[in-house]
Chains A and B, each alone.
Chain A
Amino acid sequence: MRIGVLALQGAFIEHEHMLAQIGVNSFEIRKQDDIGNSFDGLIIPGGESTIQGKLMNELGLLEPIRKMILSGLPVFGTCAGLLLLAKNIENDTHSYIASMDITAVRNAYGRQLGSFHTTACFNGIGDVPMTFIRAPFISSVSGNTEILAEVGGKIVAARQDNQLVTAFHPELNEDVRIHEYFCEMCRNYTVC
Chain B
Amino acid sequence: MENNRFELNKNLAQMLKGGVIMDVTTPEQAKIAEAAGACAVMALERIPADIRAAGGVSRMSDPKMIKGIQNAVSIPVMAKCRIGHFAEAQILQAIEIDYIDESEVLSPADDKYHIDKTAFDVPFVCGAKDLGEALRRINEGAAMIRTKGEPGTGDVVQAVRHMRLMQSEIRRIGSMSEDELYDAAKQLQVPYDLVLYVHNNKKLPVVNFAAGGVATPADAALMMQLGAEGVFVGSGIFKSGNPEKRAAAIVKAVTNYTDAKMLAELSEDLGEAMVGINEQEIELLMAERGK
Contact = CB atoms under 8 A, between A and B. Distances in A.
Interface of A: 7-14, 30-31, 46-48, 50-51, 54-55, 58-59, 79-80, 91-92, 106-107, 110-113, 115-117, 119, 129, 131, 133-134, 169, 172
A31 B259 CA distance: 10
A29 B122 CA distance: 32
A48 B19 contact: yes
Contacts of A79: 15
B9 A51 contact: no
Given A9-B18, A31-B262, A51-B251, A116 B1 contact: no
A117 B14 contact: no
Nearest to A169: B11
A46 B15 CA distance: 6
Contact of B37 (A13, A54, A111, A115): A54
A135 B259 CA distance: 32
Interface in B1-15: 1-4, 7-9, 11-12, 14-15
B19 A51 contact: yes
B38 interface: yes
B75 interface: yes
30 contacts: A9-B19, A11-B14, A11-B17, A47-B15, A47-B39, A48-B39, A48-B40, A50-B37, A50-B74, A50-B75, A51-B38, A54-B37, A55-B255, A58-B252, A59-B255, A91-B74, A106-B74, A110-B96, A111-B70, A112-B12, A113-B122, A115-B8, A115-B12, A117-B1, A117-B2, A117-B4, A117-B7, A129-B1, A133-B11, A134-B98
B221 to A, nearest CB: 13
Interface residues of B, number: 39
A78 to B, nearest CB: 10
Contacts of A119: 1
A169 to B, nearest CB: 7
B12 A55 contact: no
Contacts of B99: 112
B76 interface: yes
A8 B255 contact: yes
Contact of A133 (B1, B15, B121, B259): B15
B34 A113 contact: no
A55 B251 contact: yes
B4 A50 contact: no
Interface string B232-263: 00000000000000000001101110010010
Residue picked from A7, A47, A111, most chain B C-beta under 10 Å: A111
B98 A111 contact: yes
Given A8-B255, A9-B255, A48-B75, A113 B19 contact: no
B18 A112 contact: no
B262 A116 contact: no
A169 B1 CA distance: 15
B3 A117 contact: yes
A172 B255 contact: no
B19 A31 contact: no
B123 interface: yes
A50 B34 contact: yes
Contacts of B1: 117, 119, 129
Q: Which of B1, B2, B17, B254 has the most CB of A within 10 A?
A: B17
Nearest to B1: A117
